[in-house]
């Protein structure tokens, strides 16, 4: 019986194990494919335990596909729910190892090892396919996809010995995802796409191709997302990690693009392309190069080290050539050679909110690009290593109608901003400091509005107007602490004030006009001082009072903070609105103080003034609680707390009757002896540290002692009364009886 039970248990366990194993080994159990793009995250890959050696596969038409599937024993029926499954093969040698043409069946090619042929997989006039987890080491084409729709490539490893990793021609709504594509010397491009639409490239790694990592020609609507491209380095011109030519409406996002030659990204005749949040580092010439392409957006990218491999001509973080209406916004640039941003022959460019640091020549060079707007950028440390004229934070050259608005430029060589041969511009609200030579340098420029700029600490003049500049309007600028002369005008007909408003100068003394150095001898008729601080008179106030201030006449167009020091000790840094200062000096004890006010310009330059403050004490203490009369029973101790205050502190307490009373240093009034019944008039005096006192008289009443209480007398009285009552009662009774 035991043996029967044991046999039954073994059979039951075997059935359970088989039932669990069957769905795991059935490749059609959970694999469904539609014509939509496949994501590896929602598709369950099948990994063959080993490869089956197989000859080349060639399918021509749907009938042939169906026949071949039956003969090969492939799973599936070609529908979207159960596609044909071609899997687990090792095929080597020949032309196309797997060739499928003129079909509409759904199919999957997966987990195959394809080597040593001209092309691994060739699809022509085919729809609805998935190529997944294949290993491909091939001569010319890893994948050759022509006139295809809905083909998705996922998780393949491809080595192209020459030619292209993946070639797509007239492909529609296809995707390549999570593939590793490697080139070898003599290879062309990792992914080469032409005459196609709706292509998505996601999370691929493409490297070591001699021409391009990714190349699109004559395509429309592309998404190039989160790919890694590096070491795509060849000898031909304009080799790139990503190259788009005559291809519109692309979205290039989140790619890591490193050490490619020549450019990280090139757009040529590619319109409406968005390049956003890419990481472009150490590409040989440009990080991004855009030519003959309009309405493109380059936003929030990190671009560093462009130009490492330059032989001649400018290299840049971003360079445009005949690219109109381009937007360059929110990018970060470091160590680009020669410029971080170059606009050449590009109209209506908009450059904003970029951070540029350590450009080897210019931060920005705007050349022959009219109607550009450059605003809210930060540009630091342009090195001036390029030669060929003044280098700058921003160089505007032969570009009319340019607007420079609210930019910050610091530590640039030679000039902060240079404008040459450019007319009708606006330079408003910029901050320019610590340029090696000039803050602003203008040459052959007319009809510019230069206003509301803050210019300081430059090696030469804050503003230099060279011959011939004319008819420029300069007003409301704050020019300070720069070179031998703050402003130089060698042109003619420039105006240094407008509608009664001139400029602010750090060396203006406050009266009269201000003559601009230079051959034109221009005059600012309405000048002001960049920073002014008047004097104040000594102040005295009563200790403990509030609302005491010291006031100074002061002014700054661009104020920083102000600081008050009392006997050299800072009372804090306070925001300054640029007007008169009324500083609170409350809360100090009695004494005499040296009070110093320091006012700061936004540049950090300062002026100071010192005066005297005296705090005195001329008032007596005050009663915190008004003293009141006290009443005691006879022999009751006195303990009465008096309360007074004084800003200088209480020095002493006194009571006039020291024979009978005492008062402590804290104002506690007590009796010094047993107090006899009666009334005591006490004068209590409290004195502050400066001998000012206040007195009050209170009355202390001690009540008479109570009469002593004798219980014996009470008993006798009660007894007598009782006896009397009894006698009366007896008399009454007796009389009644006798009557």
- When pLDDT is cut at 50, 70 and 90, the band that residue 721 belongs to is low
CA distance 526 to 118: 81
- Position 717 scores a pLDDT of 52
pLDDT at 707: 73
Within a domain: residue 18? Answer: no
Asked whether residue 449 falls in the same domain as residue 422, the answer is yes
57's CB contacts (< 8 A; 6+ apart) are 68, 86, 89, 91, 97, 98, 99
Q: Is residue 340 part of a domain?
A: no
Residues 471 and 374 in one domain: yes
Same domain, 451 and 372: yes
Contact 353, 330 (CB under 8 A): yes
Q: What separation in angstroms does the CA of 121 have from each of 105, 128, 156, 274? A: 16, 15, 12, 32
Higher pLDDT, 411 or 18: 411
Q: Cα-atom radius of gyration of the chain, to the nearest Å?
A: 48
391 DSSP assignment: -
Q: What's the CA gap between 43 and 33, in Å, rounded?
A: 9
Pick from 510, 513, 587: nearest CA to 548: 587
The enclosing domain of 646 has a CATH number of 2.60.40.10
236 shares a domain with 130? yes
The number of domains in the chain is: 4
In this predicted structure, the answer to whether residue 739 has a pLDDT above a threshold of 80 is: no
Reported as a single tens digit per residue, the pLDDT across 35-52 is 233 333 333 344 445 899
Same domain as 216, residue 139: yes
Q: Which DSSP string corresponds to 250-276?
A: EEEES-EEES-SSEEEEEES--SEEEE
Q: For residues 112 and 251, state if they share a domain.
A: yes
**Do 549 and 428 fall into the same domain?**
no
104-108, 214-218, 307-311, 616-620: least confident range: 307-311
pLDDT tens digits for 222-234? 999 999 999 988 7
Residue 160 lies in a domain: yes
Structure tokens at 186: 């003599």
- Name the pairing type of β-strands 89-92 and 440-443: unpaired
Q: What is the pLDDT of residue 86?
A: 99
Percent of the chain with pLDDT over 90: 83
| Phi, psi angles (nearest 5°) of residue 733 | -65, -45
In a domain, 156, yes or no: yes
Give yes or no for residue 31 having a pLDDT over 60: no
- pLDDT for the residue numbered 706: 84
Token look-up 């931060």 returns: 363
The strand pair at 163-172 and 141-154 is best described as parallel
Query: Please, are residues 378 and 407 in contact by the beta-carbon 8 Å criterion?
Result: yes
Is residue 609 located within the same domain as residue 627?
A: no
Quote the pLDDT of residue 724.
Answer: 63
C-alpha distances (whole Å) from 115 to each of 85, 92, 143, 163 are 20, 5, 12, 15
The pLDDT of residue 338: 86
Of the candidates 501, 499, 451, the residue with the CA atom closest to the CA atom of residue 479: 451
Contacts by residues 275-282 (CB-CB < 8 Å, ≥ 24 positions apart): 275/299, 275/301, 276/251, 276/252, 276/300, 276/301, 277/253, 277/301, 278/252, 278/253, 278/254, 278/302, 279/255, 280/304, 280/306, 280/317, 281/257, 281/305, 282/258, 282/306, 282/308
Check which CATH number belongs to the domain holding 417 and give it. Answer: 2.160.20.10
Q: For the whole prediction, is pTM greater than 0.75?
A: yes
Q: What is the DSSP string of 427-476?
A: EES-EEE--SS-SEEEES-BS-EEES-EEES-SS-SEEEPSS-BS-EEES
Instruction: Tokens for 161, please give them.
Output: 């010995």
Residue 265 CB coordination number (10 Å): 32
Q: Is the Cβ–Cβ distance between 465 and 515 less than 8 Å?
A: no
Contact 257, 279 (CB under 8 A): yes
Residue 460 lies in a domain: yes
Q: Are 487 and 463 in contact (CB under 8 A)?
A: yes
CATH number for the domain that contains residue 110: 2.160.20
Q: Tell me if 516 sits within 8 A of 524, measured CB to CB.
A: yes
Of 476, 506, 528, which closes a domain? 528
Kindly state whether residues 64 and 211 are assigned to the same domain. Answer: yes
Task: Kindly state whether residue 736 falls inside one of the protein's structural domains.
Answer: no
Arithmetic mean of pLDDT over the chain: 90
50 contacts 88 by C-beta, under 8 angstroms:
yes
- pLDDT at position 486 is 98
The tokens of 271 are what? Answer: 């319109």
Average pLDDT over every residue of 71-87: 98
pLDDT digits (tens, 9 = 90+) for 102-135: 999 999 999 999 999 999 999 999 999 999 999 9
Q: Is the pLDDT of residue 11 over 50?
A: no
Dihedral of CA 431/433/436/437: which sign?
A: positive
Query: pLDDT tens, 164-189?
Result: 999 999 999 999 999 999 999 989 99
Stretch 273-278: mean pLDDT, rounded? 99
Domain of 125, in residue numbers: 50-261
Closest CA to 66 of 79, 80, 55, 78: 78
Residue 214 and residue 251 in one domain: yes
Q: Indicate the residue among 587, 616, 645 that finishes a domain.
A: 616
**Boundary of a domain, candidates 497, 528, 559:** 528
Read off the pLDDT band of 582 (50, 70, 90): very high
Calpha distance 188→177 (Å, rounded): 20
* Statement to judge: residues 600 and 523 lie in one domain: no
> What is the pairing mode between strands 591-601 and 528-529?
unpaired
Which tokens in the block code for residue 192?
A: 């080469």
Q: How big, in percent rounded to 5, are the helix, strand and coil portions of the chain?
A: 10, 45, 45
- Tell me if 297 is assigned to some domain: no
**Residue 739: helix, strand or coil by DSSP?**
coil
193 & 67 share domain: yes
Q: Give the pLDDT score at 9.
A: 41
CA distance 417 to 402: 12
Nearest to 132 by CA among 46, 5, 219, 200: 46
Is 521 a member of any domain?
Answer: yes
449 pLDDT higher than 90: yes
């Amino acid at each position: 019986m035991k043996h029967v039970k044991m046999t039954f248990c073994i059979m039951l366990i075997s059935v359970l194990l088989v039932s669990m194993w069957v769905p795991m080994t059935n490749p059609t159990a959970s694999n469904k494919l539609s014509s939509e793009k496949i994501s590896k995250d929602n598709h369950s890959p099948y990994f063959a335990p080993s490869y089956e050696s197989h000859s080349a596969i060639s399918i021509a038409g749907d009938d042939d596909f169906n026949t071949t599937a039956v003969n090969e024993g492939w799973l599936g029926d070609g529908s979207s729910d159960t596609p044909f499954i071609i899997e687990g093969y090792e095929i080597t040698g020949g032309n196309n190892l797997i060739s499928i043409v003129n079909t509409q069946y759904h199919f999957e090619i997966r987990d195959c090892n394809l080597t040593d042929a001209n092309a691994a997989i060739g699809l022509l006039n085919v729809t609805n396919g998935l190529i997944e987890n294949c290993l491909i080491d091939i001569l010319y084409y890893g994948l050759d996809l022509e006139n295809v729709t809905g083909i998705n490539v996922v998780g393949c490893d491809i080595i192209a010995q020459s030619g292209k990793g993946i070639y797509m021609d007239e492909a529609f709504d296809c995707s390549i995802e999570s593939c590793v594509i490697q080139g070898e010397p003599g290879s062309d491009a990792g992914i080469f796409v032409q005459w196609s639409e709706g292509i998505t490239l996601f999370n691929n790694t493409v490297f070591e191709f001699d021409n391009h990592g990714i190349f699109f020609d004559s395509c429309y609507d592309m998404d190039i997302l989160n790919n890694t491209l590096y070491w795509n380095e060849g000898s031909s011109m304009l080799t790139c990690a990503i190259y788009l030519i005559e291809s519109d409406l692309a979205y290039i996002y989140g790619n890591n693009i490193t050490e490619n030659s020549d450019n990280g990204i090139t757009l040529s005749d590619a319109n409406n392309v968005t390049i956003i949040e890419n990481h472009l580092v150490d590409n040989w010439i440009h990080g991004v190069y855009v030519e003959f392409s309009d309405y493109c957006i380059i936003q929030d990218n990190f671009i560093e080290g462009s130009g490492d491999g330059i032989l001649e001509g400018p290299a840049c973080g971003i360079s445009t050539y005949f690219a109109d209406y381009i937007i360059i916004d929110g990018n970060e640039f470091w160590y680009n050679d020669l410029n971080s941003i170059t606009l050449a022959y590009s109209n209506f460019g908009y450059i904003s909110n970029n951070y540029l640091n350590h450009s080897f020549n210019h931060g920005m060079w705007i050349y022959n690009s009219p109607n550009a707007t450059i605003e809210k950028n930060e540009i630091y440390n342009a090195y001036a290593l390029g030669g060929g004229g003044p280098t700058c934070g921003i160089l505007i050259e032969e570009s009319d109608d340019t607007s420079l608005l609210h930019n910050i430029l610091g530590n640039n060589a030679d000039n902060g901003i240079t404008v040459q041969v450019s007319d009708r511009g606006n330079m408003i609200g910029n901050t320019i400091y610590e340029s090696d030579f000039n803050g602003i340098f203008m040459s052959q420029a007319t009809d510019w509005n230069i206003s509301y700029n803050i210019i300081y600490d430059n090696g030469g003049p804050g503003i230099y107007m060279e011959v011939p500049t004319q008819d420029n309007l300069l007003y409301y600028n704050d020019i300070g602490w720069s070179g031998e002369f703050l402003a130089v005008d060698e042109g003619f007909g420039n105006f240094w004030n407008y509608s009664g408003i001139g400029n602010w100068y750090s060396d203006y003394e406050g009266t009269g006009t201000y003559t601009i150095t230079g051959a034109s001898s221009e005059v600012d008729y309405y000048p002001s001082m960049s920073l002014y601080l008047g004097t104040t008179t000594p102040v005295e106030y009563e200790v403990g009072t509030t609302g005491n201030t010291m006031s100074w006449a002061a002014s700054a167009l661009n104020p920083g903070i102000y600081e008050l020091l009392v006997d050299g000790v800072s009372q804090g840094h306070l925001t300054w609105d640029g007007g008169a200062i009324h500083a609170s000096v409350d809360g100090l004890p009695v004494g005499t103080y040296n009070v110093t006010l320091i006012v700061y310009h936004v540049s950090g330059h300062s002026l100071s003034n010192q005066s005297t403050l005296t705090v005195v004490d001329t008032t007596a203490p005050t009663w915190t609680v008004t003293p009141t009369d006290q009443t005691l029973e006879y022999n009751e101790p006195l303990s009465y707390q008096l309360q007074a205050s004084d800003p200088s502190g209480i020095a002493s307490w006194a009571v006039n009757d020291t024979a009978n009373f005492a008062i402590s240093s804290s104002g506690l009034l007590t009796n010094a002896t047993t107090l006899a019944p009666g009334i005591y008039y006490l004068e209590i005096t409290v004195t502050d540290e400066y001998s000012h006192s206040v007195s009050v008289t209170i009355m202390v009443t001690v009540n008479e002692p109570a009469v002593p209480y004798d219980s014996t007398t009470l008993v006798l009285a009660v007894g007598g009364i009782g006896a009397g009552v009894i006698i009366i009662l007896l008399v009454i009774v007796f009389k009644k009886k006798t009557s």
